[in-house]
């Protein structure tokens, strides 16, 4: 039978002791509400050696085992009913400090199977040494909150045999009901006393969309040790960027651009109890561009940059 996207059941487990290798008999958690996965499969760089006096290839030694990033597009959910993507992969995982101790570099192994009960699987896809390098969040009117998680991975294995088991792995069941985090549960506030011109906290109640990207500038490290696998991830530049679409109302944001001011933005997700807050520090707007036409709202798409981001309760 030919497989399609419905045949992908996704689990993950923390690599507690060794980068790129999970312990045996782990508890594997389901990754909930995945809409799309890209970067699956294995890759191997092969060198094309040519020399004078020979038309065909003279050799094909292997180069670096540098596989594509593993990328998940997910819908965020309330953790009271599902495994917490927010707490596990977002909260406190990014740190702008130039310090390897401060940067959360937890690595995971992901498992993608073709059956919800692993013992019945015909194929196991293992992706090792997965470290979160980039997160993109999109909050748009009429939509659940969506995130794209980009993991830099070390290597992969596609097999018909379950791995990393001596006694027995535990695979969590998928919840029967998922409570989605929605756009109606989000407020965006310019915090007073942080540089903006507003004299008190100012909710941006004319937004229709806001997106956010956090990138750690990860780079794979390779060493001359007779291995084609990377030895770890180096984190370079730390970038926080985003954009927001708003109704052209009183021009307050245009004033912020003209005065070259900046300040903190707080994105709060509240589903009856606080699900999380995202605080952007020292946000600057990159212009206030807009077009207009009759019988249509005038909207503005503002790009923004920030110094830091904090994911909290």
Hey, where are the domains in the chain?
Answer: 5-41+66-312
Output the pLDDT for position 241: 97
CB-count burial class (<10 Å; 0-12, 13-18, 19+) for 135: buried
Average pLDDT of the chain, as a whole number? 86
Token couple for 179: 């409570």
Output the pLDDT for position 173: 79
Helix (H, G, I), strand (E, B) or coil at 68: coil
Distance separating the N- and C-terminal Cα atoms of the chain:
45
pLDDT above 90 covers what percent of the chain? 47
Segment 157-182 mean pLDDT = 85
Let me know: does 256 contact 287? Beta carbons within 8 Å: no
Q: How many Å apart are CA 249 and CA 267, to the nearest integer?
A: 20
Let me know: does 220 contact 69? Beta carbons within 8 Å: no
Query: Whole-model pTM?
Result: 0.90
Q: Is the pLDDT of residue 271 over 80?
A: no
Q: Which residue has the higher pLDDT, 139 or 122?
A: 139
Segment 289-308 mean pLDDT = 92
Q: Is the pLDDT of residue 2 over 60?
A: no
Under the banding of pLDDT at 50, 70 and 90, the label for residue 166 is confident
Q: How many Å apart are CA 119 and CA 208, to the nearest integer?
A: 46
Output the pLDDT for position 119: 72
Under the banding of pLDDT at 50, 70 and 90, the label for residue 61 is confident
């Amino acid at each position: 039978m030919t497989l399609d996207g419905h045949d992908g059941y996704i689990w993950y487990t923390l690599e507690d002791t060794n980068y790129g290798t999970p312990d045996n008999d782990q508890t594997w958690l389901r990754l909930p509400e995945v809409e799309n996965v890209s970067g699956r499969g294995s890759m191997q760089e092969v060198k094309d050696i040519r020399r004078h006096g020979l038309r065909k290839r003279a050799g094909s030694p292997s180069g670096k085992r540098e596989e594509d990033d593993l990328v998940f597009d997910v819908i965020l959910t309330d953790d009271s009913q599902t495994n917490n993507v927010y707490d596990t992969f977002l909260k406190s995982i990014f740190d702008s400090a130039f310090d390897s101790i401060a940067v959360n570099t937890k690595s995971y192994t992901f498992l993608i199977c073709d059956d919800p009960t692993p013992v019945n699987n015909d194929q196991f896809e293992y992706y090792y040494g997965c470290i979160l390098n980039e997160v993109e969040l999109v909050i748009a009117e009429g939509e659940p909150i969506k995130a794209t998680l980009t993991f830099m991975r070390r290597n992969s294995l596609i097999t018909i045999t379950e791995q990393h088991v001596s006694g027995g792995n535990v695979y969590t069941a998928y919840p029967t009901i998922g409570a989605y985090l929605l756009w109606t549960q989000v407020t965006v506030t310019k915090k007073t006393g942080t540089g903006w011109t507003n004299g008190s906290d100012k909710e941006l109640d004319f937004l229709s969309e806001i997106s956010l990207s956090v990138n750690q500038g990860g780079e794979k490290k390779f060493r001359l040790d007779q291995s084609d696998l990377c030895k770890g991830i180096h984190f370079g530049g730390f970038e926080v960027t985003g954009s927001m679409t708003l109704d052209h109302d009183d021009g307050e944001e245009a004033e912020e651009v003209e005065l070259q001011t900046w300040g903190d933005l707080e994105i709060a997700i509240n589903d009856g109890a606080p699900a999380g807050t995202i605080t952007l520090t020292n946000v600057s707007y990159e212009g206030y561009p807009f077009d207009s036409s009759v019988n249509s709202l005038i909207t503005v798409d503002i790009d923004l940059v920030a110094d830091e981001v904090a994911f909290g309760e």
